[in-house]
Structure 1
Amino acid sequence: MMSLQKGSGILKGKECMSHTVIVAGGTCDLSEYEDILKDAYLIGADRGALCLAESGYDIDVSVGDFDSVTKEELEKIYEASKEVEKLYAEKDDTDLEHAVKRAISTTARTVYILGATGTRLDQTLSAIYLLKTLYDAGREAYICDKNNRIRIVKGHTRLYKSSYRYVSLIPYGDSGTVASLRGFKYSGKHIALEKSSSLGISNEIVGESAEISCSDHLFVFESND
């Protein structure tokens, strides 16, 4: 792999910021996320870097094999980036996974991933499972798109009512998890949730907030139709 960097003093300073935003190459309209893109440490993953560049953002680091962009588009990425890490096309991880590793190397405790969903369901599923990698590294991480916000939790978590109507819970592990829910339309104690069951799908928060207590990791999907 090859790494080209400029402005290293600025880069080190921004690595201490409170949150990181990774933009991947899936479906994404950055105009919807100006609030979290502002003052963030920005990582562009492959074509996601082009999306950032064409939207006028200064990118802290762009990573990828860049096989999805033209030579002219790659020049735009270089011009907008403080650092470009060009990866081999044949490798053992995706461009997004490599971007996640770069996010973990910073001090930012919160990570937002945009453009991780789209037409490739295999890529989308792989991206969702990367939330566990970020969780294990002590990061609070979210995958966001127009209709969904996804995170992974364990233990006790409080969710606040937001613009998302539905809350769905899907176990991370094959053995499932036992969860207690409070403040939801469908609440209860010691509910057995399994991957092979749709029991945790399409719940709703009835008040201002709701609580989840679970024995093992759960994916939390906040969604709209």
Structure 2
Amino acid sequence: MKTVVICAGGPIDELAPLEPYKLSDEVVFIGADKGSVYLLNEGIIPTVAVGDFDSLSSEEFLDLTNRVASVKVASVDKNETDTDLALIHSLDFDPQQVVLVGVTGGRLDHFISVLNSVYRFQKDNPGIQFIVRNKWNEMRLLTPGIIKLTTNPQLPFMSFFAFHENVEEITLTGMKYNVSNETINIGSSRFTSNQLLDEHGSISFSSGICLLIRSSDQ
């Protein structure tokens, strides 16, 4: 599966492990601002580095420009965030999946901005799977249809939320708490902390955007 991994500059102690992605020939890395330095420190040369790079020291920026073939410097005074710019460039690689790391923790306004950007890109590109990951959580925005769910012992809990609009005719199968043709209303927390009972299950719904968070108790 062609995957683009975007690494942003959030708190490094929340950064999802990058080692599994380093082993694949089908992964492209994009560094967003300080995330470019995180990648270099992990022994990963990003294909593209984007941002205004205002969080880098002069030494870090010089090292970045010496080691990364494509460094796209944006103005500090811009309408897009650095992560937005990385998402835009991710589409150039025709990915099936875009994974964002380094976007959680730290400033809450930054995280809400990322969440809304992922929502926009997922709506505009339904054939691409956009995923946010950190050490203990994975977040996806699901579009209508039938989505197969597979157990992950490291992230056993699943929570479902309506995002921007109600989720209609939701059916959950193979779960500890199954439902059939119900609605997740905006603001509802009823569908928090479910679990798969076996290796596989599914979620289906007819309209809306469903925020799926898979998590652990660390």
Do the two structures share a fold, i.e. TM-score over 0.5?
yes
Measured after TM superposition, the shift of residue 170 of structure 1 is 1.1
| SS of residue matched to 2:99 | strand
**Aligned Cα root-mean-square deviation (Å):** 1.7
Change (3 A) 1:114 1:37: farther
Change (3 A) 1:106 1:123: same
| SS of residue matched to 1:59 | coil
TM-score (norm 1): 0.87
Q: Which runs of 5+ in 2 are unaligned?
A: none
Q: What one-letter code is carried by the residue in structure 1 that aligns with 2:4? A: T
TM-score (norm 2): 0.89
Deviations 1:95-154 (A, max 9, x none): 001100000122221111110101111211221233233322221121110010111112
CA distance, structure 2, for counterparts of residue 35 and residue 185 of structure 1: 30
1:224 aligns with 2:216: yes
| SS of residue matched to 2:189 | coil
1:126 aligns with 2:110: no
Deviations 1:23-68 (A, max 9, x none): 0011346682211233321100000001111222111110000111
Measured after TM superposition, the shift of residue 178 of structure 1 is 3.3
Change (3 A) 1:99 1:197: same
Task: Give the equivalent residue in structure 2 for 1:84.
Answer: 71
Q: What one-letter code is carried by the residue in structure 1 that aligns with 2:113? A: S
Task: Give the equivalent residue in structure 2 for 1:161.
Answer: 151
| SS of residue matched to 2:111 | helix
Match of 2:139 among 145, 150, 155: 150
CA distance, structure 1, for counterparts of residue 21 and residue 186 of structure 2: 32
CA distance, structure 1, for counterparts of residue 16 and residue 65 of structure 2: 22
**Which consecutive aligned stretches of 4+ in structure 1 deviate over 3 angstroms post-superposition?**
28-31, 174-178
**Residues 1-225 of structure 1 correspond to what in structure 2 (within 5 A)?**
18-28=2-12, 32-38=17-23, 39=25, 40-135=27-122, 136-137=124-125, 138-154=127-143, 155-162=145-152, 163-215=154-206, 216-225=208-217
Structure 1 residues 26-35 or 75-84, which shifts more?
Answer: 26-35
Q: Which runs of 5+ in 1 are unaligned?
A: 1-16
| SS of residue matched to 1:48 | helix
**How many residues are matched?**
209
